[in-house]
Chains A and B, each alone.
Chain A
C-alpha cells in the first residue's frame, strides 16, 4: 500500500494543496483526474521528491523515497529534447541504469531486457531509430517500454494518452493491465473524462485537495464531477451516459 499522509505543497506561500491524504492500493489501476491546475502533476512530483513538500509518503510502511529504485515514473514528454543523439533502444536501455553501479556498462542481460520490452510494445523494428523520428504514440510506448525494463513495484504515468493514436493507447492500456495482474501499484494522471469508468479500478478526484477517492464505481458521480470541474460538464457527461 502506498500511503500519502498530510502532504502540503506551496508555491510562493499559496498552498497548491494542504494536508492531503490518500492511499493507492497494489493490484489496482488508480486514475487521478481534476481540472487544469488542480495539482495532479504537483502531487506526483511531491510524492517522488522532485519538488519540496511537507508530510509523509510511505510505501509498505517505509518512506517511499528509500525505495527509489522500485518506482518507475513516465513523465509528460513536452520538455523532451527530440533532437538528442540517442536511439529508441538506448532510451529503453536507460531503464536498467538504476540497477547498475557507476563504471558498470549495460551488458548482455540488460540488452536482452531492453529488447524484450521493445517487443512487448511492438517497436522492435524501430530499435535503431533516433527518437525524433517517431510518432507521439510510438514515443510514449518507448517510455512505457523503459518502465517495463525498470521492473518497478510502483508505476506512475503522467497523462500518458495525450496526443497519441488509438492503437498506442490500447497497447499501453494492455501493459497497464499486465502490471495490475502482477500486483503492482499503478497510478495514472488522466485528462479525458470519457474513459474513466472503462480504465480505472480506483479513482482520485483532485482539485486543490481531495474531492473524492475510492472505487471508480462509487466515486465517479455527477455530484463529485460537478464539484471538481463544473456542473455544466457533469451534466453533459452523465446525461449522455444515461441515454
Chain B
C-alpha cells in the first residue's frame, strides 16, 4: 500500500508519508507485497516511461546489451529495441550534447552518466546549453532531458567513482536537481523527472541501489496510468521521521544515515525529526523551516564536501528563516574538504551515525 504525501494548511507535507507506510508494510505479515530494490524501482520506472511515450529514449555507456554497469537498464534494449535504449560511443559531452539536440527535435532523452566523476566532460554541454537553452530562447526550446548520475560513496569505490557532485549542478541556474532516498521515491521521482519539461539531474545514491523496501510497486505504477498524478515530489520535502528536539536535514544517501542516527538518539531519549528534501532544486524551504521552527535546533547532513556546498546553502537558508526560533547555531555534518578518499579511508570521510550524534550533542542543550 502506498500513500502519497498530503499537505497541511501551509502546504507542508505531513507525517503521513510514503516512507511511514513502507515501514508499516515492512513490519506487516507475509501477505504483504514483495520487497523491491531501489535498482528495480528505477528499472521499472524507465520501462514504464518508455511504454508511456515514444518520445522517451535512453542512451549512455554500456546501457544497451549489458543493461548498465549497475543493471539499471537491464532488459530494456531487448524489450523495446535498440532505437529506444542504446549504447553510445564513450564520450560524455557527446551524450549530453546529442541529448540537447534530440530534445530540440521533440524527444525526451534519458541519459546515463556511468559514474559521478565521469560526468565532468559533459559539464560544458550541461551548464552552457542544457541549463540555459530555455532561458536563452525565451521558452521556445524546452530541454526535457534527464541526466541520471549514480553518485556518492559507501560502496568502497575507487577514485572518480564516489563523488558527491550535486553542489555543482545545484549552483547552475536552469537545472532541476533530484536526489531520491527511498525505493518508492526512486520510482516516483524518476517518472516525474522524465515527465518534466525542464532538465533534471537525477542523483542515484549507489549505496542504496540494492536496498529494499516492502511496498506495492504495482499500486504506485497504477497512479501513472493515463498521465502523471497530480501529487508531485518536486519541491516537496517529506518528514521522514517525526521528532521534537532537533531536526536533521538530509537528501539522497544521507537520509538513511540520518534515520539511523535518529533511531539511536531515541534510545538516548532525544526525539529527532528527519527531513528528506527529495529535490535540491527546487528546494522546499517551507517544510525545512517549519520543522526547525518547531524543534529549535538543526543539523544538515550531506556527503558532499561542506565548503560552498548544498549543505552550506541549507544552513544559510535555515538561519535566514528560523533565527528567532533557534536555540543553537545550525551545524553541519558533511564530507571533509578533501578529495573523496580511497576505499580504506572512506569510513572516516562519510557522515556517520556517531558523527551526527556528536554534532547533535553540540547543539547547546544545557539550559
Chains A and B are bound partners: no
Spell out B's residues near A (CB within 8 Å). Answer: none
Spell out A's residues near B (CB within 8 Å). Answer: none
